[in-house]
A and B are shown apart, each in its own frame.
Chain A
């Protein structure tokens, strides 16, 4: 499988002002992101996940280590402005605050902004903007003013802006953190659809466990290091490790884990509430049968 992003031995140091000590935000971070995959980077505040995001978007240069995007080395002295421009054409980012990333006063103009920067002909931009707005379900708001939209709708506009540039990898830096549950669901559904239907590589940075459960791969960050990585069932099978990093596991996993510790034979790799209930019912009835038999 081809890797969209490869990160090797990344280290990043924030230099302190004056007497303040330097802060090591990333220490020896390595991982790969496969093309077309859904990767979640999980970590609490200060774990280095946002620093990582800004490095992946070429907004910050790592102190040490290598970043490869689409097989091209993006760190070191040999990188030119054109390389960075080229990388930004393929890796886009949706930020946390929906208000601070919308440039224009009309929804469709904002979606067009990125394409206009790339110098794409007007007719082609028009086509892309319309189809991007269709993808996020915001076509009927095309002529609206962004400040009248809800948070979830604004984030979908921001996503449309990224899609219109036809980027094959989108990084979501806590894009749902400022939204209400409704907006969060709208945005998550859009993200999942992009990944499963349009084959966009998604990197979701979050601290919501429920969002993480949908991923192909989870990378858990703690104090600038990769604590653990793997599929959701692998990562969540060891809740103690996550608790140590002051992270939660999904509620269903926690329940199943505690039941298992108490001696009930249940599976741990279930993240859907309904399935979780079924599993508990199954284990309970099995237990009853054993006791009776």
Chain B
């Protein structure tokens, strides 16, 4: 069994989105989420949709990757749609059958909500996972939250923990494989029997894995100490994040988008959610 996970499904690339400052991406994502929840009518949604499609094009990722990423949320989207279609009350039912009444408003509402869910997922994963490595994201978060360290929040420590966790995921996966093979060689059976039996079969994997993880942690702590690590104080970085013109431009575009959505909500007529 070869387990090779691409965490967060980062896709290698050099598009405009890839090159944005991770801090800016985090801020943009938050603004985007606010904007999409503010959108109230069809025209605002159209604007958001246009922007989201533009993002996809800009990222130069294949559409298959993006649609694949939407798969896990499809069930929830459909479920929400069904609930909205059957339970939304409008003026005049389009279809009335026994206790079921379907209204035109319900249909539109369902469509918009599904669209909102899909756009939300597309845009957030576009900014934060497809075009940003987990490590860049951690760096970005550390620097964004660094003012909090003044009031005693151990921001650097959390970021360091994240980095080390990310660093050791592949190592521990390899280790798991090794242990599983070693246990198989001793006659362990992981793939048959009921739920309880299978769960029990995992114990001889988990225990050695924990022991080894703790040993590694001890070794790593020693190695870090030997390399003069004394926590975040007085530490410099080789790669300093620097927001450039494109980062400011992008932030401006998102703010404009939010403003656009608000204006449409106020002035344009249309079906609203």
> Which A residues are closer than 8 A to B by beta carbons?
54, 57, 59, 85, 88-89, 92-93, 95, 97, 99-106, 108-109, 112-122, 125-126, 129, 145-147, 161-162, 165
What are the nearest 4 A-B pairs in CB distance? Answer: A100-B219, A101-B223, A112-B238, A114-B227
Chosen A-B contacts, 13 in total, with CB atoms closer than 8 Å, are: A93-B226, A99-B171, A100-B216, A103-B223, A104-B135, A109-B135, A109-B238, A109-B239, A115-B236, A116-B237, A118-B228, A120-B236, A129-B238
Interchain CB contact under 8 A, B226 and A88: yes
A101 to B167, CA, bound (A): 11
- Contact of B236 with A119 in the complex, beta carbons under 8 Å: yes
What's the minimum C-beta distance from B155 to chain A, rounded to whole angstroms?
Answer: 16
Which A residues touch B226, using CB under 8 A? 57, 59, 88, 92-93
Which chain A residues border B224 with CB–CB below 8 Å?
103, 113
B229 in complex: contacting residue of A102, A112, A117, A126, CB < 8 Å: A117
Q: Closest CB of chain A to B134's CB: distance in Å?
A: 8
- B234 cross-chain contacts in A, Cβ below 8 A: 119
Q: Is the interface of B mostly helix, strand, loop or mixed?
A: helix
Is chain A's binding surface mostly helix, strand, loop or mixed? helix
Instruction: Please report the C-alpha to C-alpha distance between residue A146 and residue B234 in the assembled complex, in whole angstroms.
Output: 26
Contact of B220 (CB < 8 Å), options: A89, A103, A118, A162 = A103
Chain B residue with Cβ nearest A119: B234
Say if the beta carbon of B225 comes within 8 Å of chain A. yes
A122, B227: Cβ atoms closer than 8 Å? no
Query: Does B206 reach chain A (CB closer than 8 Å)?
Result: no
Residues of B within 8 A of A116 (CB): 235-238
Known: A104-B167, A117-B229, A147-B171. 16 other contacts (CB 8 A): A54-B222, A88-B225, A95-B223, A103-B220, A104-B135, A104-B163, A105-B133, A109-B238, A109-B239, A112-B238, A113-B224, A114-B227, A122-B236, A122-B238, A162-B227, A165-B227
Contact A85 B167 (CB under 8 A): no
Contacts of A97 in B (CB 8 A): 216, 219
Q: Chain A residues near B222 (CB, 8 Å)?
A: 54, 59, 95
Q: Which residues of A contact B235 (CB under 8 A)?
A: 116-117, 119
**Is B238 touching A100 in the complex (CB atoms < 8 A)?**
no
Q: Is the CB of A121 within 8 A of B167?
A: no
- Most chain A beta-carbon contacts within 10 A, residue among B170, B227, B237: B227
